[in-house]
Structure 1
Amino acid sequence: MTQPISYSVHSFSLDTLAEALSNKLVDAAATRRSRHFHYFAEYLGPAHDGLGAQTVLVEEPYLSQSFLADYADYYARGFTSYDRLCKRVHFFRASFEPAALEAALIDPATGADLWDSYLGYVVVKPLPARQIGATLLRPYTPAADKQRVYPVRRPYPVNVLGKQLTVETLIFQEQDNNVSACATTALWMAFHKTAFQFQTPLPSPYHITAAARNLFYRQGRTFPSTGLDLTQIGEAIQAVGLVAELRTYRQAHEWGAATAAAVTVHMQEQMLGAKGFIYAYLRLGLPVLLFLLLDGREDQAHLITVTGYRLAAANVLPTKDISLASDALDRLYAHDDQMGPFARYSFTEDGQLLTPWPAGSDWEMAERWEDHCVGSLYSVFVPLTAEIRITYEQVFRQVGLFEQIFTDTIKAQSDIVWDIYLDYSNHYKDELRRLRPVEGEPLRRILISALPKYVWVARATVQKEPILELVFDATDLHTGFYCLLANVFAPLRDSLATWLAKASFRRQLLEAPAFDARFLPLLLRDLELTADSGASSTEVVGPTTLNGCLGI
């Protein structure tokens, strides 16, 4: 015999939120003291670009599949009996009364505005602590002055009292310190995207911890979980059939006898390189896992799952040799199990991360960024399919070689910014159709080119206008020449075609230090020039400027 679901409708307030996020073992007063309460109060509230929730719908009992798997594997085996049923708390931007919800459930056509305002839900687990379970909430909404991008999302079907909805987000939950600590929870959130993206397994937190194994490089046991080290994180990623792309970074004390000023420069350059790496893989929608040392302390290690980013209006700092679009990265959005979904991380001037964690032990949200904890970037993990073989650094080096065409032959007076990122070839072609950096037959040739599923794109821009790009086979061998296309766009196209038609210019280009001659046939093919064009020309080419080629 089935029982009806109990639900209630409330106006959003701090008191309502505290009561909704509590359970029989953790009352509202204790909930208000938790870090997650303060985070959700701001995230769902009207201030600081919050989601602006106005109505709360509390539904119970709720059978959470993610909690049920861990319950069966762990919680059900103890002597003390814990409930297996949860509570689910829904949030809406619209303000409405219970009668309006009843009408919308019976006749969905009358409640279009109500359902369109749905923001998502939080599951409350029946545990004596760390009760925030599976959470699906929309990310921060776009703003006119803030270019927020959230590539690491997927559609989730949601059933609200029989009404079918879809939320485009990434699942979140708090670690429980029994079957999962922060690393396991960050992996669980990341695997929700990779399972959707690559059709790989989606294990429960319990099974992620079990797959990571206790390799006994330090003290402890597998369960209850106290955390995972780098080797265990790699083991867990490989256990679901993915490759763990790992980068580890030097800490300030590891720069030896360098002066404080020199250490700061090293850390800044290192962070710029890390920005390029993180941004490049995020563009494909891959979750990027950051391993941080809070306040630089190894006993305060923390793993978060990066889901999005924000770019400043202009590049803030140039890289040492090449200016990148990722240099303008000024905000990361991450699923931080100790805070909440899409938590905001910024960058400090000395090459570290400014976390949303308040300094000290006071979890009342600090009003100023200066009151927040600083995190040192220790390592970065990217879980990805083994089909993607070419790395970001390999593409970056190729771009560095190719840029000789600008630095040695076409004296660059304009600021050239390279946008380097991993993409699906079909998505890349769709982007070209939208951007229209070139028209007619040249565009058609690119669109009908046979490309692998995954490509690396390196696009050169001047004043944000594309002038040239290189497309690489992300699935090729490391020992091959994996550049597939060299596409020249207007306004550089006609001018560069004129110069490359001259044999003397081509000789000058080939003699440029470090320029890879294998790029030249790709350029000639794109510009519809033959290898013997201008073969009889003896013209001596003088200094050329990029501004001259661009007509500026």
Structure 2
Amino acid sequence: MSRLDSGPKMSLRSAHAHIERDSARNDLRGVPANRGHKPGRIQIVEFGEDGDPLTALDECTQRDYLRCYLHDLHVRWLLVEANYFDRDYLAAFKAFYGESARGYINVCRRVSFFTDGMCSSSAAFRGLLEEAAGGAQQACAALQECFKGFTVLRPIRTSLGRTVLGWYPDDRPGVLSRVVAPCRDYEINIAGIRLTVEGLAWQQQDSAVAACATVGLWSMLQSSAFRDRVAFPTTAAITESAHRTASLGERVFPSSGLYNHHLLEAIKEQGLEPLLIEGDINDGDQPVFSMTRFASTVAMLLRSGFPILLVGKRGKEGHVVCAVGCRPKSPPKLKCGYFEEEDGALENLYIHDDALGPNVRFALREGAAGEVVLFPHAPEPRSAVRPVVDPTNNVDEFVPRHMAVAVVRELRLLPDLLHEKALEIAKDISVEVSGIQGSSPTVPGVHFSLLLVRLADYLGQILARSVTAGKPLARARLALVERIAPLSLYLAVVRLSMAGRPTMDVLYDTSDAAPGLKPMAHVVFDSGIEWLLKKADWLGPYGRRVRAY
């Protein structure tokens, strides 16, 4: 049975050896040797200078990646809270560390990252902090403007706990914007000052409580798609839930990784539904993904707000990473009569990799068998040189073999079935257009894309971006509410576009499944294809018509 972790199971002797090293290094973390908690002044430290807690950590790839990332965000100031109780670490402490005779402590440190803003010295930054703590709105706004994220430093060997980082500015010319729908706002509170950053949480693998599959699932469950469904379980809770009904006699802690059945059971235990997608190319005894299937499935799920666990091989070892964003490629121009998937290729994939760090940019290429191969592809430094050599250099390529996804229970429509329906619709429309227009060079071909979306979000932000405000938008929204049979909580949307402009959305009920799946409605954005749609009855093959122009 294939594993969803980073290689062979760790023996108990090996796991305990890791834990003993954790204990021996506790005093190197800036944590008091005794168990008493003492008050501590908030420290303001310049990035990379004396006192920077990141440079004091044991050398590791994750630490170096984090320093390079912060450098490219132009971070200058680190705000260090000496005493911070982290929910995830407290759960790990209760499950494992608190019962150890080694004397682990339960207090962490939190480090928040800021650009220089208006502050040229640590004293000036301290003054700004004091003004904000006193309620000065201008000072609070200044801190928020230069806030770039935070990390929790745990008092164990794998120090990097819950970490949320903002994205680099999306300012590269000639490329499409990133798709980061799974991201959400995280709020922290420093002395009564509330600060927010948009991202998705990442953490380093903990050899005692959470292997790579567990921390990948932990990041996945942080998604915006589950904002009203899941109480964001801790890694310890995920490991426990994975063994609750599928342990097969294995002990829970120290954790030595999860099998397929563990991971899928853990998703079910959170009140969600697991979806396991296999590659479409046979490569020996293991499936791999073709480029088109991989790119289209990943893009659809990420646009819909669902992060993806990619299960595969890095070198010769099994590994699991969590895809949290992508950058699509501009689709090629098509001639009349041709059709193609808009997301058939990706420029980049952004991955939370517990062995590297958060938001790692990967590029895609085709292997010898036509399979997708992913490799880290860090951008050029945004200013000067990196503080350390790029830690993504010389990292082995990753070959995904499965995708594991957590979805809400209302989503019963499988991605492959939706893809088949989209191909049929795009082909039909292309044939009809070419039959009337011939090979006219002025009439473009048809691109299609897929989306799973809440009904409220489709009626709200998606239609608002696609339809002219005023009467056209009001007509479309009210028609969907008043003239269409009740729509499901989530919709599956097949969007057809021509020359880069949306032409029509075909809407499916996601609470239904094959056989007999039919569209509930189609929303027309371009009056220019009205002549084509007149061939269909009012209750034709694409469901009831809604005009949005």
Q: Which residue of 2 aligns with 1:11?
A: 46
Q: Provide structure 2 residue ranges, at least 5 long, that are not aligned to the other structure.
A: 1-35, 379-387, 482-486
Contact 1:198 1:385 survives alignment (8 Å): no
> 1:317–1:267: structure 2 CA closer, same or farther, 3 Å change rule?
farther
Equivalent residue for 1:434, pick from 465, 472, 478: 465
Indicate yes or no: 2:422 matched with 1:387: no
Q: Which residue of 2 aligns with 1:39?
A: 65
Letter in 2 for 1:406: I
1:287-436 mapped onto 2 (5 Å cutoff) = 287-295=307-315, 297=316, 300-315=317-332, 323-350=340-367, 351-356=371-376, 365-366=389-390, 371-411=394-434, 413=439, 414-430=444-460, 431-436=462-467
SS of 2:230's partner is coil
Q: Which residue of 1 aligns with 2:13?
A: none
Letter in 1 for 2:447: V
Q: Which residue of 2 aligns with 1:114?
A: 143
Q: Deviations over 1:464-499 (max 9, x none)?
A: 1122221111112433333111233325334325x6
> 1:304–1:122: structure 2 CA closer, same or farther, 3 Å change rule?
same
Q: Which residue of 2 aligns with 1:20?
A: 53
SS of 1:305's partner is strand
Q: Deviations over 1:218-249 (max 9, x none)?
A: x9643211211222111111111111011122
1:310, distance to aligned residue in structure 2 (A) = 0.7
1:175, distance to aligned residue in structure 2 (A) = 1.0
| In 1, Cα distance between equivalents of 2:93 and 2:312 | 30
Q: Which residue of 2 aligns with 1:261?
A: none
1:5, distance to aligned residue in structure 2 (A) = 3.8
Letter in 2 for 1:352: V
Equivalent residue for 2:506, pick from 467, 470, 480: 470
The higher relative CO (CA closer than 8 Å, separation ≥ 6) is in 2
> 1:520–1:104: structure 2 CA closer, same or farther, 3 Å change rule?
closer
Q: Deviations over 1:422-458 (max 9, x none)?
A: 1112222232222227985697145431332210111
RMSD over aligned CA atoms reads: 3.3
1:407, distance to aligned residue in structure 2 (A) = 4.2
> 1:161–1:179: structure 2 CA closer, same or farther, 3 Å change rule?
same
1:8, distance to aligned residue in structure 2 (A) = 1.3
> 1:368–1:180: structure 2 CA closer, same or farther, 3 Å change rule?
closer
1:45-194 mapped onto 2 (5 Å cutoff) = 45=71, 50-95=72-117, 96=119, 97=122, 98-111=126-139, 112-127=141-156, 129-145=157-173, 146=175, 147-193=177-223
Q: Which residue of 2 aligns with 1:481?
A: 517
1:51, distance to aligned residue in structure 2 (A) = 1.4
Equivalent residue for 1:202, pick from 232, 241, 251: 232
Q: Deviations over 1:6-28 (max 9, x none)?
A: 22112222x458x4136xxxxx2
Q: Which residue of 2 aligns with 1:239?
A: 269
Q: Which residue of 1 aligns with 2:294?
A: 274
Q: Deviations over 1:359-385 (max 9, x none)?
A: xxxxx755897x442111111011011
Runs of 4+ in 1 over 6 A off after TM superposition: none
> 1:82–1:452: structure 2 CA closer, same or farther, 3 Å change rule?
same
> 1:333–1:368: structure 2 CA closer, same or farther, 3 Å change rule?
closer
1:3, distance to aligned residue in structure 2 (A) = 6.2
1:249-288 mapped onto 2 (5 Å cutoff) = 249=279, 253-254=283-284, 270-288=290-308
> 1:527–1:207: structure 2 CA closer, same or farther, 3 Å change rule?
closer
Q: Provide structure 1 residue ranges, at least 5 long, that are not aligned to the other structure.
A: 23-27, 257-265, 359-363, 501-505, 511-516, 529-552
Structure that is richer in helix per residue: 1
Contact 1:352 1:374 survives alignment (8 Å): no
> 1:253–1:388: structure 2 CA closer, same or farther, 3 Å change rule?
closer
1:87, distance to aligned residue in structure 2 (A) = 1.0
Larger displacement relative to structure 2 (193-202 or 452-461): 193-202
Number of aligned positions between the proteins: 476
| In 1, Cα distance between equivalents of 2:325 and 2:96 | 33
| In 1, Cα distance between equivalents of 2:285 and 2:267 | 31
Letter in 2 for 1:384: V
1:403, distance to aligned residue in structure 2 (A) = 3.0
Contact 1:346 1:354 survives alignment (8 Å): yes
Contact 1:354 1:373 survives alignment (8 Å): no
| In 1, Cα distance between equivalents of 2:470 and 2:429 | 24
| In 1, Cα distance between equivalents of 2:205 and 2:54 | 16
TM-score by length of 2: 0.78
1:312, distance to aligned residue in structure 2 (A) = 2.2
| In 2, Cα distance between equivalents of 1:357 and 1:340 | 13
> 1:310–1:521: structure 2 CA closer, same or farther, 3 Å change rule?
closer
Q: Deviations over 1:175-198 (max 9, x none)?
A: 111011001111112222278434
> 1:365–1:462: structure 2 CA closer, same or farther, 3 Å change rule?
farther
Equivalent residue for 2:242, pick from 208, 212, 215: 212
Contact 1:442 1:526 survives alignment (8 Å): no
- Give the structure with higher Rg (CA): 1
SS of 1:388's partner is coil
- Report percent identity of matched pairs: 25
